[in-house]
Structure 1
Amino acid sequence: MEARQVETLPDGKGWQYEPKWDGFRCLARREGDEIELLGRSGKSLSRYFPEMIAALGRMKHEHFVLDGELVIPVGSSLSFEALQMRLHPAASRIKRLAEETPSLLIAFDLLEDAKGRDLHAEPLAGRRAALERFFAALGEIEELRLSPKTTRVADARKWLSRAGSGTLDGVVAKRLDEPYKAGERAMLKIKNLRSADCVVGGFRYATATKGAKKEVGSLLLGLYDEAGLLDHVGFTSALGGLDRAALTAKLEKLKGGGFTGDAPGGPSRWSTARTAQWVPVKPKLVVEVQYDHVTGHRFRHGTSFLRWRPDKAPRDCSFDQLVQEARPSRVMRLLKRA
């Protein structure tokens, strides 16, 4: 079951609110000795998280299907970068990382219980009660956590205020009286949208048909660090109604310079040769963008173009304008209380 994004938290009776954790969505399935972790795409994540497979194998329950989020705590927050590093073909590296940065599974739904009973058709209120009974019978399993939930919108607003800079990705709202609707966007997700002024440090061309003139596809964004270096922090391809031909001409006149600190990387398992190609430009243009999440000093997702800022000096675009998550240790304590 997936979620569609809305702007505000729904209020009123009949809603359950949960933190939206910054991790990999995952179904954990066990049937006797057969254990598997399935990602959102339906592909297996099992080989990348051997420590979680081992933990699920130690559980007294020999049958279940849990819906939850795979996360990796680093210090007092959660690290999405540590999760990405697991998606590597070398078994030796995965083994080392599993020992150095072990994962947790934060469970928020139970689709099949320990007796093999299918719970998809049960309302959320019933599934949550079954999930809590499942955890109560488990004993202490350090690698498995029960996600907090509330029916108080005031609590959900507090969680939302902490979202966007690691650990929490927002808040999810679910109807207490609805069954589990696999494959449907039957949940609501709410994020904490903010804006930042960034320097354009480069751009990528959009894919063009043969014979057509190349035009800008995305702007590469930068912020100045404490040493005065321009670091790459993300991109925006949501350029709205901008005249792309005129923008392309302007950018091409500014070729050169670019990022002086962290720069966009080369091809990886998440990029193609085309997306790795970019054109550096002199740091002259400032743009205000809207973002929802910062992790590892970068925008986690693509940003939305809001407006040009000709009134702002590029050197004034620094990291201190990004909202860092307040008291991340308090967010992590949610899991310990759950």
Structure 2
Amino acid sequence: MQLPVMPPVAPMLAKSVGAIPEGRLSYEPKWDGFRSIIFRDGDDVEIGSRNEKPMTRYFPELVEALKANLPAKCVIDGEIVLVGSSGDRLDFDALQQRIHPAASRVKMLSEQTPAKFVAFDLLALGDEDFSGRPFAERRAALERAFAAASAPVHLTAATQDPELAGKWFHQFEGAGLDGIIAKPLDGPYQPDKRVMFKIKHERTADCVLAGYRVHKSGPDAIGSLLLGLYKPGGELASVGVVGAFPMKRRKELFEELQPLVTSFDEHPWAWAKQEEGARTPRNAEGSRWSAGKDLSFTPLRPERVLEVKYDHMEGERFRHTAQFVRWRPDRDPTSCNYEQLEEPVKFDLAEVLAT
């Protein structure tokens, strides 16, 4: 492989802002998948990742689609996404399952749950390095390069109209996207630099504290708090974790929570006893992404409620780690259920891809 920009390349990043900014900016939907830089030189294709390790072997169906749709020599930044079984929204949980060590399972999943690639930046085309050029030039060249592309390879929608970006922000969430990205039109491509802007949905929920994991620094500090919400039938479901605390507060929390420590026999997640030391209450979380990591937890009597901030849901769980807001001693834990969560307006993913 001989390209003007050679792998690995760390993707350009975005910093969070509270509202859609205005100025000389291009706005795009924020896709919820695996960030990936594609390197193609003829029949040689490498699918890079956020951590700069190749993911090529996990997406054989995309390798063929990229050969059929990309210019013969190019480097393109984008996102690998997967459409859920409903056909109208993204499914990140299903996408995670695509990362598997067994070649036979990789092949099976590539046929059962094929992925898509959505392009949004251009680093090289032919023998030309575009990374130092303004984004406006890179986007124009990307549009020309994708003029004849077809599914499962797509070009992301883009606009310079902040009002339209605001509509996308609210509409596209219903298709599983999680916000808007704003890119300076005059900016070059800067690997591993937070020079773009991301605007994500932010909501709050009152959750039941169901357990904790200890911090990697030692057994007397909290690493993360496990959150639960009650389903209509009364089952306490695991919905995610809160994990960002100063070290002093982690140790204080450890002392505060000791009176609530219980056994798995007395806990709503009693079945986890047989998996103690191996997994969390989330079935798929003993994962390939954290191989060798101890994901066991200490069960707590579900008597305390905390308010957390979250961006959006993926199935029954928070898509990303939630943020602690405050304790809610005024809330009855049994009142913490899914009904309090705001549901986005449903929006067909096909319309987003066609925009």
TM-score with structure 2 length normalisation? 0.86
| Contact 2:88/2:175, CA 8 A, preserved across alignment | no
Matches within 5 A, 1:109-128: 109-113=121-125, 115-128=126-139
1:53-202 equivalence runs, <5 A: 53-59=63-69, 61-74=71-84, 75-113=87-125, 115-136=126-147, 138=148, 140-162=149-171, 167-202=176-211
Q: Is the 8 A contact 2:89 2:174 kept in 1?
A: no
Deviation, structure 1 residue 78: 0.5
Residue in 1 that maps onto 2:32: 22
Distance, in Å, in 2 between the alignment partners of 1:86 and 1:268 is: 12
Residue 166 to residue 239, structure 1, CA distance change in 2 (3 Å):
farther
Shift of 1:79: 0.8
Pairing 1:287–2:298 present: no
- Equivalent in the alignment of 2:274: none
Q: Which runs of 5+ in 2 are unaligned?
A: 1-11, 272-279
Partner of 1:40: 50
Identity of aligned residues (%): 42
Question: Is contact 1:199-1:284 (8 Å) kept?
Answer: yes
User: Are 1:248 and 2:248 counterparts?
Assistant: no
CA distance in 2 between counterparts of 1:165 and 1:224 reads 23
Q: Classify the secondary structure of the residue corresponding to 1:21.
A: coil
1:261-280 Cα distance to aligned partner (Å, 9 max, x none):
99245733233665412011
1:200 Cα deviation after fit: 0.4
Q: Give the stretch that moved more between structures: 221-230 or 263-272.
A: 263-272
- Return 5+ residue gaps in structure 1 as ranges: none
Measure, in 2, the Cα distance between the counterparts of 1:272 and 1:109. 32
Matches of 1:54 and 1:116, distance apart in 2 = 22
Q: How far has the Cα of 1:248 moved from its partner?
A: 2.5
How far apart in 1 are the matches of 2:159 and 2:176? Answer: 18
Give the alignment's TM-score, normalised by structure 1: 0.90
1:2 to 8, 13, 17: 13
After superposition, what is the alpha-carbon deviation per residue over 1:197-245, rounded to whole angstroms, capped at 9, x for unaligned?
0000111122345xxx713222100001122100111111224698555
Deviations 1:254-309 (A, max 9, x none): 22343449924573323366541201111100000011231121112211111111
Alpha carbons of 1:164 and 1:273: their partners in 2 closer, same or farther (altered >3 Å)?
farther
Q: Choose 117-126 or 284-293, whichever is displaced more.
A: 117-126
RMSD: 2.2
Aligned-partner residue type, residue 143 of structure 2: E
**Alpha-carbon separation, structure 2, partners of 1:90 and 1:203:** 32
Separation (CA, whole Å) in 1 of partners of 2:326 and 2:35: 34
* Counterpart residue identity of residue 72, structure 1: L
Contact 2:175-2:346 within 8 A present in 1 as well: no
User: Structure 2 counterpart of 1:157, which letter?
Assistant: G
How many residues align? The count is 329
User: What is the CA–CA distance in structure 2 between the aligned matches of 1:78 and 1:117, rounded to whole Å?
Assistant: 34
In structure 2, the CA distance between the partners of 1:267 and 1:135, relative to structure 1 (3 Å rule), is closer
The whole-number CA distance in structure 1 between the counterparts of 2:107 and 2:133 is 38
1:227 aligns with 2:233: yes
Q: Residues 84 and 250 (structure 1 numbering): CA distance in 2 closer, same or farther, change over 3 Å? A: same
Which one is further off, 181-190 or 161-170?
Answer: 161-170
Give, in angstroms, the shift of residue 126 of structure 1: 1.0
Question: How far apart are the structure 2 equivalents of 1:61 and 1:267?
Answer: 39
Query: 2:336 corresponds to which residue?
Result: 317
CA distance in 1, matches of 2:330, 2:173: 27
